[in-house]
Chain A
């Protein structure tokens, strides 16, 4: 029980603390982006950290969530929130469709398949300009809830923070459940897991679908928040950033995923003064973390404090 609520509680304290510590809506905006990417990273961490599978095209699911939220209201007049739900379901179904056959194979089959999938989604978004606006992107209808037009950095801060907390709570519950134990067993040894009666392919697919749903939600939120989407969101670089967030923050740690997302989203803002060297500094930080804190920032630090690495 403690494990299930500890991480969301820490997050809640941080979220409330940051809100009252800053008085700039620019910082609130960056924080909201951190929450959105943190959500996607938490989802991806269930697949990568817990289940031990790699997805190199996860931004594709982000793109599906984002573009469903953008395209459906424009084409059919659907409410943006419903459109986002459709996008999330579509992301989950696509993951199921791709994951089921691929995840029966061993090794890095999923990494290769998702690499292709991500690039495909980005290409479709770029090329179907009549629907998606092509490389220049498209506008997203602003979100209105019961006649209230959602705007302003502080409102979005709380909305994205709420969704992040919910996502963290669900992720922690999964970890504490038999499903979570089964996923970790698959990660440790597929053969041993099979011997213990775990349907390996089924659990891998489950983890993949869950992570795609998280990414879909994050994509939809990003579209609603920005009011504008471009194909970058589904791009390969974005996929790599998501994986980096997970590995940097700490594989298998919910808090780690959020820490990773914070570093990759907020650091470029701190480094604007030397934007020419931004990528160099980011790369350097990653190398140092990987050498010194091998398990990722949060698990390594927790181990250092001596509490054992299960946050």
Chain B
């Protein structure tokens, strides 16, 4: 039956004009619904918007891109099934996506088996450390966020840090990375408290931290509404110390939730968040302003850094296909690994065989909240 169909399709194909070339098929498995939809939804929209744009402009290598998106709803088992489907039935040549670390790690062995390049949009450092030949990623790691925060603390001449972290996946992973890199920046963790994802009051933990001898600064690795509550509690307890949040709260809703208490809070974030106030000579300005306006015009929604990761992934892939000059998955993989000087929403990407992310600390901007708006610290 299948062969009959194929023959029929081939016959139709022969009679069609040469302009309608075979599409280059790329796949995506995203958490477009479910608990991680705040990641998957902007990623999906971004990919769709930009694939359309690329096709309107003539496609890649003169051929149109065909994007096949499946929704894993954040479930690793489903993601793996869809990944099998993408390589087996849809016969894609490259893959963008995997919104969460769990789904990415579940899918990675399939793309490794079939030798198809896979650019993940998830955060954790395990995706690229150790390096796997066919696995790449575009977002910053939580480890880099810690390094950026500690670098800033060091520059301000402080060293004694009190940590208060969420026990969700994000907070827990970032806490471990922070403890791991603290020594490199002469940072001493003098207090280490945690709170659950659904807690509505963190004053007991903050009181413990406040009463720690020699405390100079508080850092809050966390995600969702927890950090906003911590920020409010810090203000309520009258703690006047410098206070750092993570890139996990880098959205306007954090400022709205935390209100006045957010005043003076610092956090590392991608340039996309401050596209409007970047100086005119900033090398990243053109990319982030263009992405922000394209996304906001097309969807009518505020831009998020997560959609930006999808933009970076797609553009790195398109660049690689053009450099490879073919849609052979192995050639594309080699070309992705040679990506250098690519300017994305997350920063400059310089990949190598040892580094399948290619971002450095300059990709992060240190922001401070002033009068309810983001401002650049540097």
Contact of B70 among A33, A230, A275 (CB under 8 A): A275
Given A24-B89, A134-B173, A269-B85: A228 and B167 interface contact (C-beta under 8 Å): no
Contact A24 B88 (CB under 8 A): yes
Q: Digit string of A253-295 for contact with B (CB within 8 Å is 1, else 0)?
A: 0000000000000001100100110100000000000000000
Contact B102 A230 (CB under 8 A): yes
8 Å CB contact of B77 from A151, A232, A278:
A232
- The complex places the Cα of A23 from the Cα of B88 at a distance, in Å, of 10
Residue of B nearest to A139 (CB): B105
CA distance A275 to B2 in the complex (A): 25
B80 at the interface (CB under 8 A from A): yes
Give 15 pairs: A residue, B residue, CB < 8 Å, sorted on A. A33-B77, A135-B102, A135-B172, A136-B100, A136-B101, A136-B169, A228-B105, A232-B74, A232-B75, A232-B77, A232-B102, A268-B78, A269-B85, A275-B32, A275-B71
Q: Is the CB of A135 within 8 A of B88?
A: no
What is the bound-complex CA distance between A230 and B34, given in angstroms?
A: 16
Of residues 145 to 169 in B, which have CB atoms within 8 Å of A's CB atoms?
Answer: 167-169
Q: What are the residues of chain A within 8 A of B84 when measuring CB–CB? A: 25-26, 29, 153
Contacts of A25 in B (CB 8 A): 84, 88
Question: B residues 73-91 with Cβ under 8 Å of A?
Answer: 74-78, 80-82, 84-85, 88-89
Contact with B along A210-253 (1 / 0, CB 8 A): 00000000000010001111101100000000000000000000
Separation of A222 and B81 alpha carbons in the complex (Å):
12
Task: Report Cα–Cα, A23/B1, bound state, in Å.
Answer: 11
Contacts of B75 in A (CB 8 A): 230, 232
Assess whether B290 is interfacial by the CB under 8 Å rule: no
Alpha-carbon gap, A228 to B78, bound state (A): 12
Q: Are B33 and A276 in contact (CB under 8 A)?
A: yes
User: In the bound complex, what is the Cα–Cα distance between A56 and B321 (angstroms)?
Assistant: 49
Flag whether B11 is at the interface (Cβ < 8 A): no
Which residues from B are CB-within-8-Å of A222?
A: 77
Pair B168/A135 contact, Cβ less than 8 Å:
yes
Contact digits for A29-45, partner B, Cβ 8 Å, 1 yes 0 no: 11001000000000000
Q: How many A-B residue pairs have CB under 8 A?
A: 75
User: Is A127 part of the contact surface with B, judged by Cβ < 8 Å?
Assistant: yes
B76 lies within 8 A of A230 (CB): yes
Please tell me if the beta carbons of A226 and B168 are within 8 angstroms of each other in the complex: no
Measured CB to CB, the closest approach of chain A to B57, in angstroms, equals 27
Known: A26-B84, A275-B71. A136 touches B173 (CB 8 A): yes
User: Least Cβ distance of B141 to chain A in Å?
Assistant: 13
- The answer to whether A137 and B106 touch across the interface, beta carbons within 8 angstroms, is yes
**Contacting residues, chain A, for B77 (C-beta < 8 A):** 33, 222, 226, 230, 232-233
Whether B105 contacts A137 by the Cβ 8 Å rule is: yes
Q: Is the CB of B76 within 8 A of A228?
A: yes
| Alpha-carbon distance between A25 and B88 when the two chains are bound, in angstroms | 7
Asked whether A137 lies within 8 Å of B81 as measured between CB atoms, the reply is: no
Contact among A134, A228, A275 for B172, CB-based, below 8 A: A134
A269 to B89, CA, bound (A): 12
- Looking at the assembled complex, report how far the CB atom of B19 sits from the nearest CB atom of chain A, in whole angstroms: 27
Question: Is residue A18 contacting chain B, with contact meaning CB distance below 8 A?
Answer: no
> Which of A222, A229, A230 has its CB near the most chain B CB atoms (within 10 A)?
A230
Tell me if B106 and A230 are in contact (CB < 8 A): yes
- Which residues of the other chain, A, contact B74 by a CB distance below 8 angstroms? 232
Q: Name the contact of B169 in the complex, choosing from A30, A135, A233 (C-beta under 8 A).
A: A135
Q: Give the residue name and chain of the A residue nearest to B3 (CB).
A: A23
